[in-house]
């Protein structure tokens, strides 16, 4: 026969598993509901298409000016 202590441990473990399962299920349901709400809303772009291309051009130009000498130096050494 199973001792009373073993029965209590099995009951406690079973209740813990069930409680954890319920909590996880509810959290997932809440997360999925919040995701579907956010996806249904239309987001407006922060910058227009022209502003994004201008920003990308300026970013690339800045990176070229900043790292250009380093790249030339490494290229001349055979890297």
pLDDT digits (tens, 9 = 90+) for 8-57: 999 999 999 999 999 999 999 999 888 887 666 656 566 677 788 888 89
> Is pTM, for the whole model, over 0.75?
no
Q: What sign does the dihedral 54-55-57-62 (CA atoms) show? A: positive
Q: Whole-angstrom Cα distance, residue 39 to residue 32?
A: 11
Asked if 55 and 47 touch (Cβ cutoff 8 Å), the reply is yes
Q: Whole-angstrom Cα distance, residue 32 to residue 69?
A: 50
The pLDDT assigned to 16 comes to 94
The pLDDT assigned to 2 comes to 73
């Amino acid at each position: 026969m199973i001792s009373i202590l073993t029965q209590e441990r099995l009951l406690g473990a079973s209740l813990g598993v069930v409680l954890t399962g319920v909590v996880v299920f509810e959290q997932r349901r809440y997360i999925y509901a919040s995701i579907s709400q956010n996806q249904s809303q239309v987001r407006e772009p922060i910058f227009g298409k022209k502003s994004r291309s201008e920003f990308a051009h300026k970013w690339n130009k800045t990176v070229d000016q900043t790292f250009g000498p380093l790249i030339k130096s490494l290229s001349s050494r055979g890297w």
